[in-house]
């Protein structure tokens, strides 16, 4: 009799179990999920990435003087471009001479040629500014 008094309230308290249909909803946009979730998933994956590229440059190792020299080089190049724009008929163009590089900026009439010569190897790189790359 005590068992009936114990089982009957338990059965009434549990209620009925309800089951529903299982529906698969993809999350990944590659498999039909919400396309707006792509950035979120990429950021989550990148935050969990622990692999380190051994060939990647370490920007933390640059000192303040390295950043200063980089800004100085950019300023010198900017000054050379401004000089070439102000004096388009100047012979020889603007020249920047350093210990390792010889940089010449020549006005071609429809743009500029930036010729960079490596003094150690003699290799010359030409960058065309303001003109089509198809022109000779």
| Domain extent listing, the chain | 94-136
Assign residue 31 a region: left if phi > 0, alpha if psi is -120 to 50, beta otherwise?
alpha
Mean pLDDT of 24-35: 84
Quote the pLDDT of residue 133: 54
Between 114 and 1, the more confident residue is 114
Quote the pLDDT of residue 5: 65
What is the distance between the alpha carbons of residues 104 and 119, in angstroms, rounded to a whole number?
13
What is the distance between the alpha carbons of residues 78 and 84, in angstroms, rounded to a whole number?
10
Helix (H, G, I), strand (E, B) or coil at 105: strand
Q: Which residues pair with 125 in a beta bridge?
A: 116
Least confidently predicted of 38-52, 74-88, 99-113: 74-88
Give alpha helix (H) positions in the chain: 2-14, 38-48, 64-86
Mean pLDDT of 57-64: 76
Quote the pLDDT of residue 123: 92
pLDDT class of 40 with cuts at 50, 70, 90? confident
């Amino acid at each position: 009799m005590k068992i009936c008094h114990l089982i009957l309230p338990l059965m009434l308290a549990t209620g009925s179990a309800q089951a529903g249909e299982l529906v698969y909803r993809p999350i990944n946009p590659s498999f039909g999920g919400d396309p707006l979730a792509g950035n979120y998933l990429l950021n989550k994956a990148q935050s969990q990435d622990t692999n380190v590229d051994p060939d990647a440059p370490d920007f933390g190792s640059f000192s303040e003087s390295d950043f200063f020299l980089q800004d100085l080089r950019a300023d010198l190049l900017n000054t050379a471009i401004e000089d070439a724009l102000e004096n388009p008929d100047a012979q020889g163009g603007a020249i920047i001479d350093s210990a390792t590089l010889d940089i010449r900026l020549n006005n071609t009439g429809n743009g500029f040629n930036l010729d960079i010569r490596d003094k150690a190897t003699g290799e010359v790189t030409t960058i065309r500014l303001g003109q089509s790359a198809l022109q000779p």
